[in-house]
């Protein structure tokens, strides 16, 4: 005898309740899966934001070091006591970059 053909009312109610509970179980499972997916997305966004901040900080530090080296080179050029090679060694700039800074000063 198939379940659909059951005519006994208490059995029908029991089968109906089983279907409801199964549906609730599925709804809970789907809600859990959605919640987990949302948490994963938030976690990924936070990681990406952190990576972006770290990369931006690194770029800022590098730019600051570069500007400091150029400022130091300009100050040494003003003294006219060192050669471009010596200034390049002292600042970490190339001789060409020092020569360019010296040329800018003379303009």
Identify the pLDDT of residue 75: 95
CA dist., res. 52 & res. 96, Å (int): 33
Identify the pLDDT of residue 25: 77
Query: Rounded to two decimals, what is the model's pTM?
Result: 0.58
Domain parsing of the chain, residue ranges: 11-106
pLDDT tens per residue, range 58-98: 999 999 999 999 999 999 999 999 999 999 999 999 999 99
């Amino acid at each position: 005898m198939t379940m659909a053909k059951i005519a006994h009312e208490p059995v029908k109610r029991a089968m109906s309740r089983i279907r409801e509970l199964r549906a609730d179980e599925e709804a809970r499972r789907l809600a859990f899966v959605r919640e987990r997916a949302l948490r994963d997305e938030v976690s990924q966004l936070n990681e990406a934001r952190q990576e972006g901040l770290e990369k931006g900080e690194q770029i800022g530090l590098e730019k600051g070091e570069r500007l400091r080296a150029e400022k130091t080179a300009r100050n040494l050029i003003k003294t006219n006591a060192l050669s471009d090679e010596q200034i390049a060694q002292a600042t970490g700039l190339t001789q060409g970059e020092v020569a360019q800074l010296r040329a800018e000063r003379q303009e």
